[in-house]
């Protein structure tokens, strides 16, 4: 099948509206603009910006986005059919849609007979008028006009004649596409297929159908792909599957599924755009200030990560053995998890990545492998602590001291006192170290022992290394390792740090959580100092 | 359709094997035992415990689990067909499977012709012998014998005749069920349906088929349900969809899908078991020391949470408007805005379980619900800390003091000093408390601050309560809670304790890990003392 024989599927993104219904997802107007520009670069066809009738933030978004030139995407405004007490031309909600001045308008209406009576409290006949009249009124104001049939599948199962009647009215009103919504997310793919087939046999194969799925049954992506396989040519979803409850259908899975597996085409599926998919996914997580979900299909950090021994050896011979697509197609990459990769070729691979020059014959490679295995036996793990891994390699390859000469540690002390009778407590840390020949002895309190230590060491170093001011500890994780029972067990601490430009992870292991935290803290600081020094040298 | 007309679908859990292939999921033998017991309570039919031929930890699991009585589940051991250089009876891997002494054995073999030649480097004919001979050799050693056809769907697409030939050999070898595996997770539900239909038309409708799906295409749950809809009666998956890369098919979505939506039955789908699904999901996240994914279908905290204004008002009139099932059916609950779970019926249910007499009308029930919500907002979680929950309830219902009168805490102090120049360190804790009118002031060292505190408090109490001698702290987990950045974050500590008879979990939360550990430690001790007192009273 040639490229031009492939059928086109329109991609309609609702991250900015339905996506923000997710618990913990909140976007400012500025965030929304940034996401819209990114979606445009990706080649999304339609970007639903919000519901101008429902909140002022969305009105502002529609006003501001007009100042930007979009290369491909068209902005859509969303709203409901007009209220029963008004005529269409009097309805404030429809007026707000027109005032948003978007090339695309999408309105939703009721399909499910019970809800027309119980929620809208109007007759079934009146609801049909609302649908037709709302669309007909909006028709001249929009280049493209979409109708979202809310609760379509539940409504169809309850009363198929009425559900179809609502669609016919939407066609009469002038809708370009009828989008069948599984609003509660309760429908399974086999039902989606059956119902869409029946809709097409009763309304004709020429009508243009779309799908809008939610993930409550854990089948939103499958439902969307299934709908396309039986004739839908418009898919609504969100980046990363953000959305109310369990989320909307995830476009980051749908787009590659359509293009790489089902033989359809869409703008965002063109090879050079599809390669940006992973970046877009991570960008949207960043903007929403949420950690990236590493297990996401196609775009997650674990999506092409291999841990099991059998898999690793097979996958290095032939990636197809355990990878369903080539990760580069979506801008992702294969990862062999460091914990399982204490082999020579992996050390060389990482050295290249870190910019450390190292030849395969160099005996130091063997030394690194041995050291790495020792550390892993002690409980260190470098999967999420690549900065500590880089420091470990540099210490060996470049013959560096533990702290790379930035400072020498003398001692630290932590005191944690609780008086339970009056709930008074004191958490205090002191740190002694030597920097450029001077001894620094500082003390600080904190809301816990590790926090106090963190405060004390920064206090000691900041005067000498002002660049530490823009370094932040972003995340702190503790894992108790198996081995000794109970509180005598070893712990592994992972610290994630960031500055304006980078993020880096470091690790520490000890029976003593304070000592383990100290190791990870010191590595994080040294990594930052090395990075600044390298930058200064490059600039000089 | 009556209950007894419904077809039964076997649920086969592989959390303990495939689940631990996930990045960041590592379970100790003790963790695995705990998960297995929980899965048994849930009514899972088969629990795959590991691959005894591949690692000693799994061998230990199979040895230890024999000491437990399981009410329903059968334990399965997993392995591969025998190596080509051996005969079946000489193969160390098959021997390890037999030595695991499990009632169920599952082995996997190659389906995809290319892999037989490239990975195994043997003839297609020899692979067929491996499959038949391995199964035939194991047959007398297992009550139930399953065959996992690795890469079945990819293999079928490449060479359907050969793929079917491998299945026929598995039948010849005596397999009870042929489990079709989508090993790379690249297959879509419409293909699953087509291929299974063709398999059944070519091998006969009587063969027993299963499905094992991975989530690389974001369709693992849909693929599993689709397979059942076209005739499979055995589904493999993991709790929470843990698994290599993007995970395995999520049983927490599959079980309610099969039972509540598709009209099948399974033990774990019986109403009183299904109601424990949410608890089991959270328990497994806790044991794996991972934060619960709130967006999970059915069992996530957001699965029935309503944020959108339209939805909230509609849902409070009629939940069916925006909820695909009643959340109580899976032990979850509706949430509006930020308000939390732990309703009255839950509290009553737990009270019954703990043997606390409490009537639904008692105003104290409301008080518990309120207190519980407060604690959950502070970061406490009781899914893996039922002993702390029981103590919380008894404190309120029975009007008990914090320590139930066993002792009064006065203060503790922890000192942690490290001299880095000579690597000397001192970790010391002191504890002051009052027992039976006497003040005890003890000190102890430890290999970390929590261990030192643990040692000091036991030292103080042991003379008064000799029963503490047979109490051990079995596991200690720390989770950093979201909120404040870096080392200033709150932590939640979970302690798992045991004596000769029981295991119990307790929890503490604080910005200070030592304080949080102290809370969990004290609860663990009090729970043990209460238990002993109750026993003495019963004996008297």
Average pLDDT over residues A520-528: 96
- β B104-110/B74-80 pair status: parallel
B476 DSSP β-pair partners: B495
Helix and strand totals (H; E) in chain B: 18, 16
Asked if the model's pLDDT at residue A53 lies above 90, the reply is no
Chain B residue nearest residue A421, CA to CA? B410
Asked if the model's pLDDT at residue A376 lies above 90, the reply is no
At A430-487, the pLDDT tens digits run 999 999 999 999 999 988 898 899 999 999 999 999 999 999 887 787 877 766 666 7
Chain A residue nearest residue B297, CA to CA? A216
**A449/B454 CB distance under 8 A:** no
In the stretch 276-335 of chain A, residues with CB closer than 8 A to chain B read 294-298, 300-309, 311, 314, 317-318, 321-325
Lowest mean pLDDT of A169-178, A491-500, B41-50, B470-479, name the range.
B470-479
What's the alpha-carbon Rg for chain A, to the nearest Å?
A: 29
Q: Which of A23, A190, A411 sits opposite B305 (nearest CB)?
A: A23
B261 touches chain A (CB under 8 A): yes
Residue B160, pLDDT score: 98
Nearest Cα neighbor of A222 from B188, B242, B298, B187 is: B188
Asked if the model's pLDDT at residue A340 lies above 50, the reply is no
Chain B residue nearest residue A307, CA to CA? B21
Residue A343, pLDDT score: 64
- Residue A187 burial (10 A CB sphere; 0-12, 13-18, 19+): buried
Average pLDDT over residues A371-382: 81
Residue B315, pLDDT score: 62
Residue B340's pLDDT band (cuts 50, 70, 90): very low
Residue A91, pLDDT score: 96
At B419-447, the pLDDT tens digits run 877 778 899 999 999 999 999 999 999 98
Q: List Cβ neighbours of A349 (8 Å cut-off, separation of 6 or more).
A: none
Q: How far apart are CA B109 and CA B81, in angstroms?
A: 6
Chain A residues with CB under 8 Å of B298 CB are: 216, 218
A178 touches chain B (CB under 8 A): no
Residue B337's pLDDT band (cuts 50, 70, 90): very low
At B301-328, the pLDDT tens digits run 899 987 544 555 566 567 777 899 999 9
Q: How far apart are CA B274 and CA B262, in angstroms?
A: 15
b/e for B274-294, b at 16 or more Cβ within 10 A? bebbbbbbbbbbbbbbeebbb
Distance from CA of B117 to the nearest CA of A (A): 12
Asked if the model's pLDDT at residue A326 lies above 80, the reply is yes
Measured between alpha carbons, how far is residue A355 from residues A350, A528, B349 in Å?
9, 16, 60
* 3-state SS track over A262-283: CCCECHHHCHHHHCCHHHHHHH
Q: Which one of A22, A121, A189, A256 would you mutate to disrupt binding with B, by most B Cβ within 10 Å of its Cβ?
A: A189
Residue B466, pLDDT score: 95
Q: Which of B30, B309, B418 sits opposite A412 (nearest CB)?
A: B418
Tokens of A4: 């031009």
**A447/B495 CB distance under 8 A:** no
Average pLDDT over residues B346-363: 83
Average pLDDT over residues A175-199: 98
Q: Locate tokens 């840390």: which residue?
A: A429
- Residue A240 burial (10 A CB sphere; 0-12, 13-18, 19+): buried
B473 touches chain A (CB under 8 A): yes
B103 touches chain A (CB under 8 A): no
Residue B17, pLDDT score: 95
**B262/A514 CB distance under 8 A:** no
Chain B residues with CB under 8 Å of A495 CB are: 486-487
CB atoms within 10 A of CB A89: 10
CB pairs under 8 A between A and B: 355
A534 touches chain B (CB under 8 A): no
Q: How far apart are CA A484 and CA A488, in angstroms?
A: 6
B30 touches chain A (CB under 8 A): yes
In the stretch 204-233 of chain A, residues with CB closer than 8 A to chain B read 215-219, 221-223, 225-226, 229
Asked if the model's pLDDT at residue B212 lies above 50, the reply is yes
Lowest mean pLDDT of A59-73, A169-183, B45-59, B193-207, name the range.
B45-59
Q: Which of A247, A449, A497 sits opposite B513 (nearest CB)?
A: A449
Q: List Cβ neighbours of B189 (8 Å cut-off, separation of 6 or more).
A: A189, A190, A222, A225, A226, B219, B222, B223, B226
Per the model's pLDDT, the better-predicted residue between A60 and A319 turns out to be: A60
Asked if the model's pLDDT at residue B102 lies above 80, the reply is yes
Chain A residues with CB under 8 Å of B219 CB are: 219, 221-222, 225, 257
ipTM value of the model? 0.75
Average pLDDT over residues A319-338: 84
Average pLDDT over residues B187-193: 98
Residue B386, pLDDT score: 86
**Cβ pair B21, B244 in contact under 8 A:** yes
Q: Which of A411, A453, A488 sits opposite B451 (nearest CB)?
A: A488
Per the model's pLDDT, the better-predicted residue between A360 and B237 turns out to be: B237
Helix and strand totals (H; E) in chain A: 18, 16
CB atoms within 10 A of CB A466: 10
Asked if the model's pLDDT at residue B148 lies above 60, the reply is yes
Residue A482, pLDDT score: 63
**B454/A229 CB distance under 8 A:** no
Distance from CA of A261 to the nearest CA of B (A): 8
Per the model's pLDDT, the better-predicted residue between A165 and A320 turns out to be: A165
For residue B332, the SS3 value is coil
Nearest Cα neighbor of B238 from B453, B478, B499, B20 is: B20
Residue B172, pLDDT score: 98
**A410/B425 CB distance under 8 A:** no
Residue B248's pLDDT band (cuts 50, 70, 90): very high
**Cβ pair A489, A428 in contact under 8 A:** no
At B402-424, the pLDDT tens digits run 889 999 989 999 999 998 777 78
What average pLDDT is seen over chain A?
90
Which structural domains are found in chain A, ordered by start?
A: 3-287 (3.20.20.70)
Q: How far apart are CA A103 and CA A62, in angstroms?
A: 11
Per the model's pLDDT, the better-predicted residue between B89 and A539 turns out to be: B89
Residue B208, pLDDT score: 98
Asked if the model's pLDDT at residue B56 lies above 70, the reply is yes
Measured between alpha carbons, how far is residue A417 from residues A180, A534, B264, B515 in Å?
62, 42, 59, 9
For residue A449, the SS3 value is helix
At A225-268, the pLDDT tens digits run 999 999 999 999 999 999 999 999 999 999 999 999 999 999 99
Chain A residues with CB under 8 Å of B246 CB are: 295-297, 300, 302-303
A422 touches chain B (CB under 8 A): no
Distance from CA of B277 to the nearest CA of A (A): 15
What average pLDDT is seen over chain B?
90
B247 touches chain A (CB under 8 A): yes
Tokens of B525: 């001790």
A65 touches chain B (CB under 8 A): no
Query: Which string of DSSP letters, residue by residue, matches B486-527?
Result: GGGS-EEEEEEEE-SS-EEEEEEEESSHHHHHHHHHHHHHHH
**B487/A480 CB distance under 8 A:** no
pTM greater than the 0.80 cutoff: no
Q: Locate tokens 């103590």: which residue?
A: B391
Lowest mean pLDDT of A89-103, A121-135, B332-346, B403-417, name the range.
B332-346
Q: Residue B225 — φ and ψ, nearest 5°?
A: -65, -40
Average pLDDT over residues B338-357: 67
């Amino acid at each position: 099948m040639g490229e031009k024989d492939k059928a086109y599927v329109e991609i309609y993104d609702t991250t900015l509206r339905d996506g923000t219904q997710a618990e913990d997802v909140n976007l400012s107007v500025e965030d929304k603009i940034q996401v819209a520009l990114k979606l445009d670069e990706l080649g999304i066809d339609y970007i639903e910006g919000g519901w101008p009738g429902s909140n002022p933030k969305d009105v502002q978004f529609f006003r501001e986005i007009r100042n930007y030139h979009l290369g491909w995407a068209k902005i859509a405004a969303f709203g409901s059919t007009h209220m029963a007490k008004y005529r269409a031309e009097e309805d404030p909600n429809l007026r707000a849609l027109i005032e948003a001045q978007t090339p695309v308008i999408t309105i939703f209406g009721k399909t499910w007979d019970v809800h027309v009576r119980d929620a809208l409290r109007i007759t079934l006949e009146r609801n049909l008028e609302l649908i037709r009249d709302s669309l007909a009124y909006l028709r001249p104001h929009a280049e493209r006009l979409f109708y979202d049939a809310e609760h379509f599948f539940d409504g169809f199962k309850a009363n198929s004649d009425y559900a179809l009647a609502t669609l016919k009215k939407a066609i009469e009103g002038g809708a370009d596409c009828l989008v069948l919504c599984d609003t509660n997310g309760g429908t399974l793919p086999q039902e989606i297929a059956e119902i869409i087939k029946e809709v097409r046999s009763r309304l004709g194969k020429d009508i243009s159908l779309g799908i809008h799925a939610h993930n409550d049954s854990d089948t939103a992506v499958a439902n969307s792909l299934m709908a396309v396989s039986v004739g839908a040519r418009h898919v609504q979803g969100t980046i990363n599957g953000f959305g109310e409850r369990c989320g909307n259908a995830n476009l980051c899975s749908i787009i590659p599924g359509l293009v790489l597996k089902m033989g359809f085409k869409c703008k965002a599926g063109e090879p050079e755009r599809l390669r940006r998919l992973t970046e877009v996914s991570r960008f949207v997580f960043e903007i929403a200030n949420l950690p990236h979900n590493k297990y996401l299909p196609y775009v997650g950090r674990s999506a092409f990560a291999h841990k099991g021994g059998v898999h690793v050896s097979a996958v290095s011979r032939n990636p197809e053995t355990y990878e369903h697509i080539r990760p580069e197609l979506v801008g992702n990459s294969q990862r062999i998890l460091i914990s399982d990769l204490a082999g020579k070729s992996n050390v060389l691979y990482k050295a290249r990545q870190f910019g450390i020059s190292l030849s395969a014959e160099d005996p130091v490679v063997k030394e690194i492998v041995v050291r790495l295995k020792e550390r892993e036996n002690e409980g260190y793990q470098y999967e999420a602590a690549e900065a500590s891994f880089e420091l470990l390699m540099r210490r060996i390859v470049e013959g560096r001291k533990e702290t790379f000469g930035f400072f020498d540690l003398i001692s630290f002390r932590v005191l944690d006192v609780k008086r339970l009778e009056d709930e008074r407590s004191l958490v205090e840390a002191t740190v002694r170290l030597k920097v450029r020949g001077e001894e620094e002895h500082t003390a600080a309190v904190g809301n816990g022992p590790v926090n106090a230590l963190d405060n004390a060491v920064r206090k000691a170093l900041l005067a000498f290394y002002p660049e530490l001011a823009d370094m932040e500890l972003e995340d702190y994780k503790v894992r108790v390792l198996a081995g000794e029972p109970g509180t005598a067990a070893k712990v592994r601490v992972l610290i994630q740090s960031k500055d304006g430009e980078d993020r880096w992870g470091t690790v520490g292991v000890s029976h003593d959580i304070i000592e383990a935290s100290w190791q990870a803290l010191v590595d994080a600081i040294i990594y930052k100092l090395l990075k600044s020094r390298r930058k200064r040298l490059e600039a000089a």
